[in-house]
Chains A and B, each alone.
Chain A
Amino acid sequence: MKRKYFIIGLSLLALSSCGKIIEDSNEIVTGMKPVYLNTEDYDQISQQSPTAFERVGKIYKTGSYIFVSDKGKGIHVIDNSDPFNPQKITFITIPGNLDMATRSSYLYADNISDLVTINLSDPLNISVEDRIYDVYPETNFFDYPESYNGPFECVDDTKGIVIDWEEATLTNPKCSR
């Protein structure tokens, strides 16, 4: 009698541990977690004095200017009148930004789901001239941390838009690559 229950118990235990994360393992590891932007703040575009390169992205050149995007953050504006001595003159914060192009003195940039037009005739005093909504329907910009293999905290869309990833101590992370 006792032996039968023992065998049943053992089988159940074996079954429950196959291919499933055990809920209360309290496994603590170093991994990555998403950095969220409040969905209402996604369209906040501003400029500041030059910042360091964080995640060098794409490049565009017009006249004596070079633009270098910082993945998901915005655009570095570089005065390249002297290619031996290029100078950053400002950083334009554009949440979620990945790409840019120009025509005349206008800069076009993606801003999460939208395409914005920025007036650069005075690069130290930019203004947003126009916004076209929903040019980019996918908002899964950073579903997972780039160039990373390991555990991470799964994205929770109810928390906002993921615009970055950072190292973190995770308890029982459910996602990994």
Chain B
Amino acid sequence: MKNLYTILILATVLITSCTKNETATPLSRDIGNGKAGSTAKMITVDNHLYAINDKELKVFNLDNPQSPSLVNTVNVGFGIETIFPFAHYLFIGSTNGLYVYDISNPTTPTLTTQEQVQHITACDPVVANSNYAYVTLNSNRLNCGSIDNVNLLITYDISDINNIVEMSNIDVEIPKGLALEGDRLYVCSGNNGIVIFDLSETPETPIQTGNIGGFTANDIILDNGVMMVVCEDGLRQFDYTNPDNITLMSLMDL
């Protein structure tokens, strides 16, 4: 009798444990567009998808999101690498410079400057707010440049989007992805993790105030107080609600 009870209990436990983890939270249709890291080659803005290949910007209409339709192909230039949306602009980073397109008419991106804002040959993600664009240049990756050891953070004044002016360049070790929120700029830098810059006094010349160190970060997303960082060894998340006291929330390295 005792054995039968044991078997019954074991069986119940087994059956109930087998039904775990068979469902996941559905991804809602109402969720909108989400956010990409600064090194993205494709992004969605409202009901359009913008995707870059080596030299073209392709525009897809997403009125039927399950079936995108190609509505425009823009010849941008060679070596285009990253795309970042801000307001009604697309900032496209390339090995030769920064291209800024006006997407007030989402189907027809229009170059705002006569030619791209030139910089020395290097790989460059870019982020921007209403007045400034911040670009990291890194020649350490293969194909990233003919000049050895370019490791810079460049600031451009974009308050007149038709006349973009370089304001400063700062040495940052092997800079990669970056993110901007309020008066802080966060830059992935070599093995230094994330280097933090204060923009409150001199946004045209970011001031380094510290870093969250000890790992190799490649890109970063800021979202409502949670900083998500893709690193060589996995995914780290930090609480940055107080930017002067950033704390680790989790490390997923498996």
Contact = CB atoms under 8 A, between A and B. Distances in A.
The reply to whether chain A is a binding partner of chain B is: yes
A136 B252 CA distance: 31
Contacts of A24: none
A66 interface: yes
A59 B219 contact: yes
Given A56-B233, A124-B24, A102 B67 contact: no
A161 interface: no
Nearest to B140: A147
Q: Which of B27, B43, B49, B237 has the most CB of A within 10 A?
A: B27
Contact of B237 (A65, A86, A88): A86
Contacts of B31: 62-63, 102, 104-105
Interface string B45-82: 00101010110001010100111101000000000000
B30 interface: yes
B21 to A, nearest CB: 8
Contacts of B230: 56-59, 68
Contacts of B155: none
Interface in B117-133: none
Contacts of B235: 53, 56, 59, 66, 68, 78, 86
A135 B50 CA distance: 11
Nearest to B66: A129
Interface string B202-229: 0000000000000000111101001011
Nearest to B70: A132
A101 B252 contact: no
Contacts of A132: 60, 68, 70
A89 to B, nearest CB: 5
Nearest to B62: A103
B27 A63 contact: yes
B51 A56 contact: no
Q: Which of A99, A138, A177 has the most CB of B within 10 A?
A: A99
B25 A64 contact: yes
Interface in B230-254: 230-235, 237, 249-250, 252-254
A121 B32 contact: no
B182 interface: no
Nearest to A53: B234
A63 B44 contact: no
**Complex A-B, nearest 7 residue pairs according to Cβ-Cβ distance, in ascending order:** A62-B34, A105-B27, A120-B27, A59-B230, A129-B66, A63-B31, A99-B41
